[in-house]
Structure 1
């Protein structure tokens, strides 16, 4: 199989949709020789922030000269982003080889009358196989959905990380916030420490699970805390404290923007301190330098793109906020970083999200809004999104074509207006490529 054939094969597996459960992935990994057991791991889940924390932790491990794998989902532009070693995405050739290796055993399972693994299970198995083949020392593994029954939940990590718990994927995770918290808590393993920024009732669920598994739990706001400092569109400073660790106001710089990223960085720092107990190469200077350099495209990412004719630049903010909690954080960060600045919002949202609450949270009456569909089978039509947005803004337009929508939004982003692109990771990836002058791709 070449890369395009591998994508076609994965697309064929996608017809099975989301089917939670671990029996298929356990069988598939067993046939592959259980590659996930050949290196140490850190497991990361949460409603928001798990991708950013995963990127920070991978950056810290790499800066410590530790051979590091990173598995994330979804991707912004290419499937190759999902599997990285030492910060480099898997090549298309290696991706095809990994999928080919997995396919052999999927076909064996089918020949033996077993249930076909899903697309995500095939990708997860391929990532574990790839990391083992490249002999990584550690792999940071981001949960796909929930935790308890997610196909990544076959590892026993050194640390379990649960960024936060908010209301999302309720139909697949118990239907309530308590049910969602239960699914997130599912990654907690016997004796494995847990780091979290969860609050309220979800935190109580996590505490109970940690107690049942005899796992120490370290909570943001109790065992460690962060305080934001100065910021600009290109970075920010903050301090980290932990009476437990004897640390009081240690200064850090963070390349990523947003108050939420400061909290995410606190989770990553606390996790790094725990990893230091078994990996002395992880030191405070290493952590500090890694956070100063870490990047995570499409997460409150500030760009300056050339204006028409090349005279000057236009500010653009790209964010992957794709649920009400994410929109709340985006709104707060915009109000803090760009107070009073007029905005053009270019948005696309999936139909199974709480569209009304997301728009009500983000959109102001004075905003100029352009709606367009994400690149997903689950995308809501731009016309329907525009009808919803018209409740909250006086100026709303829509374009079903993303390229046309971006052109319209850029034309509106004049006279000091900030262009904000958000609503779905399935939207911002392709638009980011266009803004950077790269070939648009959704492969």
Structure 2
């Protein structure tokens, strides 16, 4: 089986399960010998910030010398990004080999009336690869929710981490932060340790506290006040932690809070025997790489790529733009999925953009570009639908000029589409090109 054939087999499976539950993936993993039981995990759930949290944790553990698996979704660069070891994506031949190995078991279950979803299959492949590769620890990002997410098939992790909880996927997870927090808190296992993002909505925090108490977990909150700020600009954030100077190429006040959540989780790992020196922590923070999270692709003109796709995410984006680009004329390229709260999401960005070019993301749930442009026009903004990502980027750069700024936002799927095109165009326009 080739790599492309493997991708075709994976994408041919159901996108979502017929019914929620962990029974299907448990049956598959049973037949695979339960590779997940040979691994240790840091399990991360949340609405916003869980990707940044996972990237920081993985980078620190790798810097400290541990063979570290990382499982994330969705991907930005390419499919193989979903499973990594020490920052390296799974080799194409390994993905093809594992797919060929596990696919007959998936077909068996399908014939028995237990069809697996795409995400369940990918999760099982990742567990097998991490186990075969002898990972010391795996940083495991929840796909959707927590309680019934395929990643929740693991036993009690080293640490459960819950990033910021807010309204998203309301049709699946519930339409209040309390209901969504209940689903996220489903990753809290009996007798474990839990770390929580420090700025939770009160209702969500109470649900998480109750779950931790019921399952006899020690509960720790991130402490952003322990991070003494030094400076922050478009290139990154500098701070001191327990007297050690640290910097990370992530920007925004929300990333300082995510960093504090990561540091709290690392404290639990240190208690459990992980050798994590201040130098390794600082090194891991400085090396973290996370595309499409306020990612700076160019300084002149300023070109930022961000996957903010729900009200909480666009609120954090708006705060960052006010902080870092207070006097810039900002041009936006934006596309969103129709099942998001688009009205609330763009409401946070009202008044920040001089011009908006809208796109239809490459996703079956995408909102049409003209409809999104109409929403912006309803807020009094100048907005125009573009036909292609290339056209949108070219128009945005022309409108912004060298002294302006371009911000791409609204969807991680859009960010994945636009990123390679934007890099190509920016490089072709560079004086050194």
TM-score in terms of structure 2 length: 0.93
Report SS of the residue matched to 1:390: helix
C-alpha spacing 1:161/1:288, structure 2 compared with 1 (3 Å): same
Q: Which whole-Å CA distance do the structure 2 matches of 1:114 and 1:18 have between them?
A: 11
In the alignment, what sits opposite 1:128?
127
In the alignment, what sits opposite 1:174?
174
In the alignment, what sits opposite 1:159?
159
Q: Equivalent of 1:200, from 199, 202, 206?
A: 202
In the alignment, what sits opposite 1:212?
214
In the alignment, what sits opposite 1:284?
278
Per-residue Cα deviation, 1:238-296 (whole angstroms, up to 9, x for no partner): 244xxxxxx5x654222211111111111111111110112342122211111122111
Q: Which whole-Å CA distance do the structure 2 matches of 1:210 and 1:98 have between them?
A: 36
In the alignment, what sits opposite 1:149?
148
Instruction: Flag structure 1 segments of 5+ consecutive residues without an equivalent.
Output: 241-246, 306-312, 439-443
In the alignment, what sits opposite 2:338?
351
C-alpha spacing 1:148/1:11, structure 2 compared with 1 (3 Å): same
Contact residue 223 and residue 257 of structure 2 kept, 8 A: no
Contact residue 368 and residue 393 of structure 1 kept, 8 A: no
In the alignment, what sits opposite 1:37?
37
Report SS of the residue matched to 1:136: coil
Listed as ranges, the matches of 1:242-281 within 5 Å are 251-281=245-275
In the alignment, what sits opposite 2:415?
428
Listed as ranges, the matches of 1:292-441 within 5 Å are 292-304=286-298, 313-364=300-351, 367-437=354-424
Q: Which whole-Å CA distance do the structure 2 matches of 1:175 and 1:394 have between them?
A: 29
Contact residue 60 and residue 290 of structure 1 kept, 8 A: yes
Per-residue Cα deviation, 1:61-98 (whole angstroms, up to 9, x for no partner): 10111011000000013110000011001122211222
Contact residue 222 and residue 262 of structure 2 kept, 8 A: no
Per-residue Cα deviation, 1:102-141 (whole angstroms, up to 9, x for no partner): 2121112123x13101000000001001101111111000
Q: Which whole-Å CA distance do the structure 2 matches of 1:18 and 1:137 have between them?
A: 34
Q: Which whole-Å CA distance do the structure 2 matches of 1:321 and 1:78 have between them?
A: 19
In the alignment, what sits opposite 1:244?
none
In the alignment, what sits opposite 2:58?
58
Q: Which whole-Å CA distance do the structure 2 matches of 1:18 and 1:431 have between them?
A: 32
In the alignment, what sits opposite 1:2?
2
Offset at residue 437 of structure 1 (A) = 2.0
Q: Which whole-Å CA distance do the structure 1 matches of 2:269 and 2:389 have between them?
A: 43
Contact residue 6 and residue 100 of structure 1 kept, 8 A: yes
Greater CA drift, 317-326 or 190-199: 190-199
C-alpha spacing 1:18/1:268, structure 2 compared with 1 (3 Å): farther
Q: Which whole-Å CA distance do the structure 2 matches of 1:202 and 1:227 have between them?
A: 27
Q: Which whole-Å CA distance do the structure 1 matches of 2:152 and 2:353 have between them?
A: 45
In the alignment, what sits opposite 2:232?
231
C-alpha spacing 1:415/1:62, structure 2 compared with 1 (3 Å): closer
- What is the aligned-residue RMSD (CA, Å)? 1.8
Report SS of the residue matched to 1:183: helix
Offset at residue 400 of structure 1 (A) = 3.0
Report SS of the residue matched to 1:36: helix
Q: Which whole-Å CA distance do the structure 1 matches of 2:285 and 2:414 have between them?
A: 27
Q: Which whole-Å CA distance do the structure 2 matches of 1:254 and 1:385 have between them?
A: 34
Contact residue 161 and residue 195 of structure 1 kept, 8 A: yes
Listed as ranges, the matches of 1:84-123 within 5 Å are 84-111=84-111, 113-123=112-122
Contact residue 359 and residue 369 of structure 2 kept, 8 A: yes
Per-residue Cα deviation, 1:371-392 (whole angstroms, up to 9, x for no partner): 0011111111101111111122
Contact residue 369 and residue 393 of structure 1 kept, 8 A: no
Instruction: Flag structure 2 segments of 5+ consecutive residues without an equivalent.
Output: 426-433
Contact residue 222 and residue 263 of structure 2 kept, 8 A: no
Contact residue 228 and residue 259 of structure 1 kept, 8 A: no
C-alpha spacing 1:275/1:389, structure 2 compared with 1 (3 Å): same
Q: Which whole-Å CA distance do the structure 2 matches of 1:74 and 1:256 have between them?
A: 19
Q: Which whole-Å CA distance do the structure 2 matches of 1:415 and 1:436 have between them?
A: 16
C-alpha spacing 1:184/1:401, structure 2 compared with 1 (3 Å): same
Contact residue 234 and residue 255 of structure 1 kept, 8 A: yes
Offset at residue 409 of structure 1 (A) = 1.4
TM-score in terms of structure 1 length: 0.91
Give the number of equivalent residue pairs.
422
